[in-house]
Amino acid sequence: MPDALDDLRAITQHHGSLLISFFAGSEIEQVPHPVAPAWCWPLSEMTLALERAGFEVTDSRWEPGSLYAYVEARATVEPISR
């Protein structure tokens, strides 16, 4: 995931928006999926991965027990956490 987020940041203009949805859970783990390998990510881990890639999370939503989480972020000049 970090490489994919780095690629997204590279093509997103400064202050550009990103909205993602992903399988959410309490830990990073692979889950069955009929089309391709899929992974659950905790919202906190996805937020950290986005910050490391150079995005600032502006909104997020995940209800425990829900399959999906949503994150809205904007591209920053420099990665926030390294």
CA distance 66 to 16: 28
| Domains, the chain, with CATH or none | 2-75 (3.40.50.150)
- Note whether 38 and 20 are within 8 A (CB): no
Q: What is the pLDDT of residues 32-56, one digit of tens each?
A: 999 998 999 999 999 999 999 999 9
The pTM score is 0.85
Q: What is the pLDDT of residues 52-82, one digit of tens each?
A: 999 999 999 999 889 999 999 999 976 665 5
Average pLDDT over residues 19-38: 93
Per the DSSP assignment, residues forming a β-bridge with 31 are: 38
